[in-house]
Chain A
Amino acid sequence: MAYTGPRIDADVHHAWRDDAELLPYIPTRWRQAVADRQFAIGPAMMSYPHTAGVNKRLDTYPPIGGPPGSDVATMQRQLLDPHNVSRVVLGFDVGLNAAVANPYLALALVQALNDWSIDRWLSQADDRLYGALLAPTHVPEEAAAEIRRVGGHPRIAQVLLPWNSLGRPFGHPVYHPIYAAAEELGLPIAIHAGGGEVAMSTGQTAAGGVMPTRLEFHTVLPQTSQHHLLSFITHGVFERFPNLRLMLSEVGVTWVPWLLWSMDASVDELRRESDWVRRLPSEYFFERVCLTTQPLEETPQRSQLIELLEAVGGLEDVLCFASDYPHWDTDEPNYVERRLPEAWLPKVFYENARRFFGWDTELPPAATSAQAPA
Chain B
Amino acid sequence: MTEIIDALVHHTWATQMELMEFMSPGWREFLGKPESLPNAGGAWNTSAFAAAGVMPALPTNPFRDPAGDKRPGTVAASGGPAGSDVELLRVQALHAPGISRAVLGFDVGALAPTHPNPWLALEVVRAANDWSIARWLSGQDNRLYGLVLVPNQLPTEAASEIRRAGAHPRMVGVLMGGNGMARPFGHPIYHPIYEAAHELGLPVVVSAGGDAPADTLSHPTAGGLPATYAEYRILGAGALMSHLVSMVAQGVFERFPGLRVVIAGAGFTWLPSVLFRFDTNFKALRREVPWLRDLPSEYVRRHVRLTAQPLDPAPVERVRRLLATVPWMADILCFASAYPNRDMVNPDAVCRLLPARHRDAVLGANAMALFRWPDRRPAPAPPASDAVGAMPSGQA
Contacts and interface: CB of A to CB of B under 8 A. Distances in A.
Interface in B171-196: 179, 182-187
A211 B184 contact: yes
Contacts of A255: 270, 273-274
Given A206-B184, A212-B250, A261 B222 contact: no
A220 B222 contact: yes
Contact of B222 (A206, A263, A305): A206
Given A214-B285, A273-B66, A329-B284, A227 B241 contact: no
Contacts of B29: none
B280 A295 contact: yes
Interface stretch (B14-22, B109-117, B197-205, B310-318): B310-318
Nearest to B269: A258
Interface string A151-181: 0000000000000100111101000000000
A56 to B, nearest CB: 13
A208 B211 contact: yes
B224 A269 contact: no
Given A207-B222, A215-B289, A265-B312, A312 B318 contact: yes
A204 interface: yes
Given A230-B234, A234-B228, A254-B272, A205 B222 contact: yes
A49 B288 contact: yes
A312 B211 CA distance: 29
B238 to A, nearest CB: 4
A258 B276 contact: no
Contacts of B227: 168-169, 172, 231, 234-235
Looking at B66, B234, B250, which has the most chain A CB atoms within 10 Å of its CB? Answer: B234
A216 B184 contact: yes
Contact of B321 (A169, A210, A311, A329): A311
Given A234-B228, A266-B230, A272-B67, A220 B242 contact: yes
B168 to A, nearest CB: 30
Given A208-B179, A299-B276, A203 B313 contact: no
Contacts of B46: none
A170 B277 CA distance: 24
A234 B230 contact: yes
Contacts of B312: 258, 261-262, 264-265
Given A223-B235, A299-B325, A204 B284 contact: no
Contacts of A364: none
B243 to A, nearest CB: 5
Contact of B269 (A172, A261, A307): A261
B324 interface: yes
A207 B319 CA distance: 25
A297 interface: yes
B48 interface: no
A195 B223 CA distance: 8
B218 A269 contact: no
Contact of B314 (A170, A230, A261, A297): A261
Contacts of A224: 222-223
Interface in A206-249: 206-216, 218-220, 222-228, 230-231, 234-235
A274 interface: yes
Contacts of A257: 269, 273, 314, 318, 322
A21 interface: no
Contacts of A234: 227-228, 230-231
Contacts of B289: 213, 215
B349 to A, nearest CB: 13
Contacts of A167: 224-225
Interface residues of A, number: 70
Contact of B242 (A164, A195, A209, A231): A209
B390 to A, nearest CB: 15
A213 B46 CA distance: 37
A208 B239 CA distance: 4
A200 interface: no
Contacts of B211: 207-209
A255 B277 CA distance: 10
Interface in A259-283: 259, 261-266, 268-270, 272-274
Contacts of A264: 312-314
B214 to A, nearest CB: 16
Contact of A227 (B235, B246, B286): B235
Given A220-B242, A328-B284, A227 B222 contact: yes
A222 B221 CA distance: 11
Given A215-B249, A261-B269, A297-B276, A266 B233 contact: yes
A207 B242 contact: yes
Nearest to B246: A216
A169 B242 contact: no
Contacts of A206: 184, 222, 238, 242
Nearest to B279: A298
B313 A265 contact: yes
Given A211-B246, A219-B281, A298 B179 contact: no
A274 B310 CA distance: 23
B27 interface: no
B267 interface: yes
A230 B66 contact: no
Contacts of B235: 207, 223, 226-227, 230
A317 to B, nearest CB: 17
Contacts of B30: none
Contact of A308 (B220, B273, B286): B273
A264 B233 CA distance: 12
A196 interface: yes
A32 interface: no
Nearest to A211: B184
B176 to A, nearest CB: 11
A226 B231 CA distance: 10
Given A207-B242, A269-B66, 12 more contacts: A167-B224, A169-B221, A169-B224, A203-B224, A207-B220, A208-B185, A209-B246, A211-B246, A227-B238, A255-B273, A258-B269, A297-B277
5 contacts: A203-B222, A218-B277, A218-B285, A257-B269, A307-B324
Interface of B: 65-67, 179, 182-187, 211, 218-231, 233-235, 237-243, 245-246, 249-250, 267, 269-270, 272-274, 276-286, 288-289, 310, 312-314, 318-319, 321-322, 324-326
Interface of A: 49, 164, 167-170, 172, 195-196, 202-216, 218-220, 222-228, 230-231, 234-235, 252, 254-255, 257-259, 261-266, 268-270, 272-274, 295, 297-299, 304-305, 307-308, 310-313, 328-329
Closest 9 CB pairs of A and B: A224-B223, A208-B242, A223-B222, A208-B239, A254-B273, A207-B239, A261-B312, A207-B238, A227-B223
